[in-house]
């Protein structure tokens, strides 16, 4: 078990392509903007993307056999992407995956944290199972798009969380709508209502509805900046999470 932070939050999804890592990264940065000390652990071992999203080129240092995480945008970060050469694939079987969860939590000098965000791989495979074993008291946020199929698949991740007796903080409906520049009209490209239906099925609430929005032009990181609609939406999301975990 770990006692790094009383507020460990896993960002989960039933399938890939719903923007789970984008949600995890921007939630972590938004919590930092609220003045919190935050760690982000990229547990998507096969599909790690956090280093690229933060445009990180440096690698962690070690002190007395312990790892010092890389810091970017004020967030302390660990990822499998720091431990491989270039963009080489990871070809591991299940038992090795569980060891990485322990490695990233027990062998890293995190310091005092207010929040630790875990970016899980999609689905209900080995990483999710090992996480439930090693970190039984964490909270989960389930990410889906409004599309009925995505919400249907995301339900499985939610049910798995319930069976592990994890509290589900809520549902994030990502890519909820698109608003053209200089317009207030919303276009529901992936349909409407999937997140609300999922929240009802899992007996929780939709805690964020995030739009589709391009990143700032020429920015090298996948983090929304002030002036974007998504910047404000993520700040509201982070504030909601902070309130929920203080109850």
93/140 Cα distance (integer angstroms): 25
Tokens found for residue 44: 């998507």
Nearby residues of 215 by Cβ (< 8 Å), 6 or more positions away? 222, 223, 224, 228
pLDDT class of 133 with cuts at 50, 70, 90:
low
Question: Does the structure show a pLDDT above 90 at 246?
Answer: no
Rounded to 5 degrees, what angle do the CA atoms 160, 151, 221 make? 95
Fold of 8-244: Rossmann fold (3.40.50)
What is the 3 state secondary structure string of 165-233?
CCEEEEEEECCCCECCCCCCCCECCCCCCHHHHHHHHCCCCEEEECCECCCCCCCCCCCCCCCCHHHHH
pLDDT class of 1 with cuts at 50, 70, 90:
very low
Question: Does the structure show a pLDDT above 70 at 160?
Answer: yes
Which of 21-30, 131-140, 238-247 shows the lowest mean pLDDT across its residues?
Answer: 131-140
Give 189 or 14, the one with higher predicted confidence.
189
The model's pTM: 0.90
Q: Is 228 left (phi over 0), alpha (psi -120 to 50) or beta?
A: beta
Q: What is the pLDDT of residues 8-58, one digit of tens each?
A: 999 999 888 899 999 999 999 999 999 999 999 998 877 788 999 999 988
Q: What is the pLDDT of residues 101-121, one digit of tens each?
A: 777 777 889 999 999 999 988
Where do the structural domains in the chain lie, given as residue ranges?
A: 8-244
Q: What is the pLDDT of residues 68-90, one digit of tens each?
A: 999 999 999 998 878 766 555 54
Q: What is the pLDDT of residues 139-152, one digit of tens each?
A: 999 999 999 999 99
Predicted pLDDT of residue 3: 44
**206-228 average pLDDT score:** 88
Question: Does the structure show a pLDDT above 90 at 124?
Answer: no
């Amino acid at each position: 078990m770990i006692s790094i932070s009383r507020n460990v939050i896993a960002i989960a999804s039933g399938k890939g392509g719903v923007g789970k890592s984008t949600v995890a990264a921007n939630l972590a940065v938004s919590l930092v903007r609220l003045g919190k000390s935050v760690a982000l652990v990229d547990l998507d071992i096969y599909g790690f993307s956090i280093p690229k999203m933060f445009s990180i080129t440096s690698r962690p240092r070690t002190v007395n056999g312990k790892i010092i995480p890389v810091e970017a945008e004020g967030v302390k970060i660990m990822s499998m992407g720091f431990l491989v050469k270039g963009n080489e694939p990871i070809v591991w079987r299940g038992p090795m995956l569980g060891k990485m969860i322990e490695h990233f939590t027990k062998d890293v000098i995190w310091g005092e944290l207010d929040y630790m965000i875990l970016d899980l791989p999609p689905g209900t495979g080995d990483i999710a199972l090992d996480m439930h074993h090693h970190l039984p008291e964490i909270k989960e946020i389930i990410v889906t798009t409004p599309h009925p199929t995505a919400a249907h698949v995301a339900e499985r991740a939610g049910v798995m969380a319930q069976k592990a007796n994890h509290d589900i903080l809520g549902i994030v409906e990502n890519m909820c709508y698109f608003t053209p520049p200089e317009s207030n009209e919303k276009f529901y490209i992936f349909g409407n209502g999937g997140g609300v239906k999922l929240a009802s099925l899992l007996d929780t609430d939709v805690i964020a509805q995030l739009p589709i929005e391009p990143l700032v032009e020429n920015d090298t990181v996948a983090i929304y900046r002030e002036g974007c609609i998504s910047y404000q939406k993520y700040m509201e999301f982070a504030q909601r999470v902070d309130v929920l975990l203080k109850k």
